[in-house]
Structure 1
Amino acid sequence: MNYCENCYHLTNQERCPYCHSAALREVHDDDYCFLITQSAIWCEAIKETLEQHHIVYECIQEMGSGLSLKVGPYLENYHFYVPYHQYAQAQELMKRFEDSQ
């Protein structure tokens, strides 16, 4: 599995299909990998789900706090990243989460 250090996506391709970077390397267990982008309305539920299953994560706002306050928090998206060694478990949780919506 290849890992893009630019956008944190996993791929089997030689170039990242998301940012088109050719600077890919083999993924390591402690690499944070992109999991999901979700709107503000679902952000806390996703955090809760990951925490209940003891999955470490990073949650990054797309716009940032200042712009989000200006345009409205419901237009904000959040990007979730998890360590590779927990990636498969987190993906399964997100699949179940999306199926329940």
Structure 2
Amino acid sequence: MNYCENCHAACEGDVCPLCGTKKLRKATAKDFCYLCQCDEGQCDGIADALEENGIHCVAMPYGRGVESQFGLPLSVYRLFVPFSHYERARDFLEQMQSARTEELRKGLLQNIGRLNIGLRLERRLSKKLKIPRDRVLDFCVDIIKSCKFISIEKNNGATGGFIFCYADECTLALDSSTYEVLAIDLTDK
């Protein structure tokens, strides 16, 4: 496996998947490799779970320059693990994400009656998907049922946040407090 010294990514190919550089070297057991990026709350949980499973990790604050410039706390972290534990950590993270996705899917399906969509977005999606307007919400439910990954992103504002459902054909974005469909990215359709 190769290693990028710019962004600390371990990768199979000849090009770094994060920064695009071709200046890679063979990874060594002592290299700390980028595992994932997460918010502060997620970071603590993931780091604790990794440590409990014998995988040492390091969390580094990460953010935009403007946050640093104004002395604001960085709310995003990047987790790194030694290359010697990289594969195990990646597999463990996948298992955690899969379990979390199923937990979120169950919660969404229990609240499916609250799912709603604005009239304008409903019209646009009906036209783009070539389905009747009264079937657009059914399409959204199908995405929730079949998507491979679900995540919750906290809003930098007061309360609430966003739920993202990632499926092969599209990504569905919901408001986490009102269950309103905010957008569907159909770039692959």
Superposition TM-score, scaled by structure 1 size: 0.83
Instruction: Give the corresponding residue for 2:87.
Output: 88
Alignment RMSD, CA only?
1.8
Counterpart contact for 2:43–2:79, Cα < 8 Å: no
Partner deviation per Cα, 1:31-80 (whole Å, 9 max, x = no partner)? 11110111122111111101101211110011388422xxxx7xx11100
Q: 1:24: how far off? A: 0.6
What secondary structure, in the 3-state scheme, does the structure 2 residue paired with 1:59 have?
strand
Q: What does residue 37 of structure 2 align with?
A: 37
2:20 alignment partner AA: H
Please identify the structure whose Cα radius of gyration is greater: 2
Amino acid at match of 1:26: K
- The percentage of aligned residue pairs carrying the same residue is 29
More RCO (CA 8 Å, sep 6+): 1
Structure 1 position 12, deviation (Å):
2.5
Matched residue pairs, number? 95
State the distance in 1 between where 2:94 and 2:23 align: 29
Alignment gaps of 5+ in structure 2:
101-189
Secondary structure of 1:38's counterpart equals strand
Structure 1, unmatched stretches of 5+, are none
The 2-side partners of 1:92 and 1:12 are apart by 16
Q: For 2:17 and 2:96, how far apart are their aligned partners in 1?
A: 25
- Give the TM-score normalised by structure 2: 0.47
TM-aligned CA deviation for residue 14 of structure 1: 2.1
- 1:22-101 counterparts in 2 under 5 A? 22-63=22-63, 66-68=71-73, 76-101=75-100
Superposed CA offset, 1:63-99 (max 9, x none) = 388422xxxx7xx111000011101111111111111
Q: Secondary structure at the match of 2:72?
A: helix
The DSSP-based 3-state class of the residue aligned with 1:67 is coil
